[in-house]
Amino acid sequence: MKSEKKPKNLRLKSVNIAMFGYFCLLSVLLILLVDVTFYLVMEATLENQALTRVKSVGEEAAVQTSFSADPERLAIGFSRFREEGINIFLFSAEGEQIMPADIEISQNRVEEFYAHAGELKQGENCYYRASGYANYAACVQYLGGEAKLLVSYSLSFIGDAVGKIQLYLLLISAVVLVLAFIISYNLSQKLTRGLKTMSDTAVLLAKGDYNVSFANADYNEMAQLSDTLNYVRDEVKKSRDFQREILANVTHDLKTPLTMIKAYASMIQEISGDNPEKRNKHLQVIIDETDRLTGLVNDVLSVSKVSSNISQLNKKVFNLTEFLYGIINKFGYLSESGYTLMVDIGSDLYTLADEEKIEQVIYNLLGNAVSYTGEDKTVYISLKKSMDGTRIKLSVRDTGKGISKEELPNIWDRYYRSEENHNRPVKGTGLGLSIVKAVLEAHSFDFGADSEQGKGSVFWVDFPCVPATPE
Ligand code: ADP
């Protein structure tokens, strides 16, 4: 036999790689988001701080300039702020730089200054940002005359601070990426290990080892998957057992009648051929056994037809009362053998169902009741509309041995035959009730069996009650 290879799809990505990719992408996005937000917030805060500081230093310098009579002391006072990166310039009314004497301001910045401060009158001031400086400009009084004051704060420290933070963020990013790699690798290993184990177990199952168990994994979804696979294993096992059982049962059931037929045919040939009385008796056995074989074959066919969904339901509204009477009439021949069918049937009750399949159901139920009823050989059949008028209940009651509580749930299984009843000379195949169940479940009708040992059983079906369609 050719061994089948497992299909492999090489175009698919590995969970390991996909997970690492997504982790890294997520980490990079997060880092970028944090980086940009931090950068913007940081820059805005530092710039605000610089403006506030330049304003307070400017106001202080303006007051000192106005009240100072000693240029040297004033210059010393101004130089105090240099450590912070704040330079204070004083220009005469003619535009000459008065102080500080040791720092030359660029022409470009002087022009910017006059563009903002040129129009200022004494006591007025303004703020502006230009060429990487936060500036405070004011027109002040100086030694009895008028002078222009410029306090400028270099914003280069912001760039330095942001640069440092970016370096830290870069380092953090590297650490986060390494962590992302480690976490994603471990996580994907853990996930794929579980999947790989399940896949290996499934291969064993496919090879026919039904004792395998799909281990419950750590994660909810994986645990659900392993539960489902365990369920599949059980179902496959059941189906295999069922197939074996069917084969064994059918072979067994075919063997007995065939042996009987052969035996009686030989007997006719050898012994009773000339004796009409004996010959007829033997022929009757052959006919009975042939009937039994036909019944068995029909039942097996019905079961496979009903279970494979080839046969769709062909529902229509029909008169269940008349239909039931029709079937009961077919059982009429039983009266010759002393059987009594007691009926209590409501008139003109209509239902919606597949007539042909329902006939099989009723036939099987009546057949069983007749087969299993007690010594009084009586079967009670009732068909009644429910109080609310929506349902019709069919009950078939016998007075036989009944079915034990333990056995009651099993009687609907294929090939189930009660041990106790097995020995009875009843021509059962153990398929009848499984056909009943399959048909009624396909219709979604309620049905069931109640039984009391020693008193008999009642099999019932609830049909929907529908109005008669106009003829
Ligand atoms: P069978 O062909 O053996 O009757 P069924 O599927 O119709 O198969 O029934 C399954 C089993 O359920 C029977 O073998 C019998 O043990 C039990 N059973 C069915 N109907 C009755 C009944 N009316 N009274 C007692 N036992 C019953």
Tokens linked to 304: 């496979």
Q: How far apart are CA 240 and CA 389, in angstroms?
A: 44
**The pLDDT of residue 11 is above 70:** no
**The pLDDT of residue 469 is above 50:** yes
Q: What is the pLDDT of residue 423?
A: 37
Q: What is the pLDDT of residue 9?
A: 55
pLDDT in tens, 141-185: 988 889 999 999 988 888 888 888 888 888 988 888 888 888 888
pLDDT in tens, 318-373: 999 999 999 998 887 788 788 999 999 999 999 999 998 898 899 889 989 998 99
Averaged pLDDT score across all residues of the chain: 85
CB of 418 sitting under 6 A from ligand 1: yes
Nearby residues of 202 by Cβ (< 8 Å), 6 or more positions away: 214, 229
CB of 361 sitting under 6 A from ligand 1: no
Q: How far is the CA of 97 from the centre of ligand 1 (A)?
A: 120
CB of 432 sitting under 6 A from ligand 1: yes
Tokens linked to 458: 């009642």
Q: How far is the CA of 367 from the centre of ligand 1 (A)?
A: 9
Q: Per the omega criterion (within 30 degrees of 0), is the bond before 276 cis?
A: no
CB of 185 sitting under 6 A from ligand 1: no
Mean pLDDT of the region 188-193: 81
Choose one of 398, 399, 418 to mutate for the ligand 1 pocket test, by most ligand atoms within 8 angstroms of C-beta: 418
Q: What is the pLDDT of residue 328?
A: 92
Q: How far apart are CA 263 and CA 275, in angstroms?
A: 17
Mean pLDDT of the region 217-238: 87
| C-alpha torsion 81→82→84→88, nearest 10 | 60
Confidence class of residue 416 from pLDDT cuts 50, 70 and 90?
Answer: low
Mean pLDDT of the region 387-412: 93
Confidence class of residue 196 from pLDDT cuts 50, 70 and 90?
Answer: confident
pLDDT in tens, 39-75: 888 888 888 888 899 999 999 999 999 888 888 899 9
DSSP 11: T
Confidence class of residue 422 from pLDDT cuts 50, 70 and 90?
Answer: very low
Tokens linked to 288: 């009975």
